[in-house]
Structures are given as C-alpha cells and as structure tokens.
Copies of this chain bind each other. A is one copy, B any other.
Amino acid sequence: MNEFLQAALEEAKKSYSEGGIPIGSVLVHKGKIIGRGHNKRVQNGSPILHGEMDALENAGRQPAKVYQESVLYTTLSPCPMCSGTILLYGIPTVVVGENKSFMGEEELLKSRGVQVTVEDHPECYDLMQKFIREKPTVWNEDIGV
C-alpha cells in the first residue's frame, strides 16, 4: 500500500481502537504529511470532524498555495462536506482507500477538475464493514441517514 494511504489507515485504526468511526486521512504537501486525522464523531461528539476535516484542522491555517500543491489521502470516499472542503481549498488530487462502503461526491469533484484515484484497498473496506456491522446507528448518523 502507498505509504500515505497506510498512514491514513493507521489513523482509521486508531479511531476504531478509541471506539470511533474508523476513517482516517492525511494531507500531504510535497511528499510530507502536514496534517493527519480521523473521524471524531464519537470521541469529541463532533458532527463536523470527519477524518478529512480533522486532518485539515490539524494541518492548521495554510496559505492557499499549499493546499493547491497537496494531495489528500482518505480511507473512504469523501462525503459532500469533505468534498466541498476539497473544492474550497482547491486540493487538486485525492486518493481514496475504498468507495464500496460509501460512495461520496467523486463525480462532483471530477467535474470540477479534481483528480480522484480509488485504490479499492481490502483493508480499508474490511475495517469499515466491521464497524458498520457493529455500530450501524452511529455510522448512519455520520452520513446523515
């Protein structure tokens, strides 16, 4: 697995071990991780800290140029909120662990010129499926269902 997707998966596993939703993300600028994070709905009672949002939050305030030169790695296809955030900051490239558990706004991203690559990684999928089986209500809450 790509080392950065691996780092995102480590974040997802960390979240799972905390009792949270196992989705992780890292923001990579010029080959270096500048923010990493995981879903914190359970841990922080937050409706906005999806993995991608937490990675961006942890990267802190960055000049526009940094986002425009970055790659966002996420274990799961980005939802409308996270996709909108990718568009706001003009992040040009997104690498997705899997999109079988949840199909996010990949088409919207592509229509706006974002390059989206789906790795279809079994470990990302299996971890997500395990959580959805164990805590379907929390998962549904996270995607507004």
Residues of A within 8 A of B (CB): 41, 45-48, 53, 56-57, 59-64, 67, 79-85, 87-90, 105, 108, 140-141, 143-145
The contact of A57 among B48, B59, B67, B140, by CB within 8 Å, is: B48
> Judging by beta carbons under 8 Å apart, are A67 and B144 in contact?
yes
Interface centre among A48, A60, A82 (most CB of B within 10 A): A48
The contact of A45 among B61, B81, B140, B143, by CB within 8 Å, is: B61
> Judging by beta carbons under 8 Å apart, are B88 and A60 in contact?
no
The contact of A41 among B56, B59, B61, B64, by CB within 8 Å, is: B61
> Judging by beta carbons under 8 Å apart, are B59 and A47 in contact?
yes
In the complex, what residues of B have CB within 8 A of residue A143's CB? Answer: 88
In the complex, what residues of B have CB within 8 A of residue A47's CB? Answer: 56-57, 59-62, 89
Given A48-B57, A64-B145, also A85-B89 (CB < 8 A)? no
Distance in angstroms from A129 CB to nearest chain B CB is: 21
State the CA gap A3–B97 with chains docked (Å).
45
> Judging by beta carbons under 8 Å apart, are A85 and B48 in contact?
yes
Identify the closest chain B residue to A140 (Cβ).
B64
Identify the closest chain B residue to A46 (Cβ).
B57
Distance in angstroms from A38 CB to nearest chain B CB is: 14
Beyond A41-B61, A47-B60, A48-B48, list 9 extra A-B contacts (CB 8 Å). A45-B60, A46-B61, A64-B144, A64-B145, A79-B84, A81-B81, A81-B84, A82-B84, A84-B85
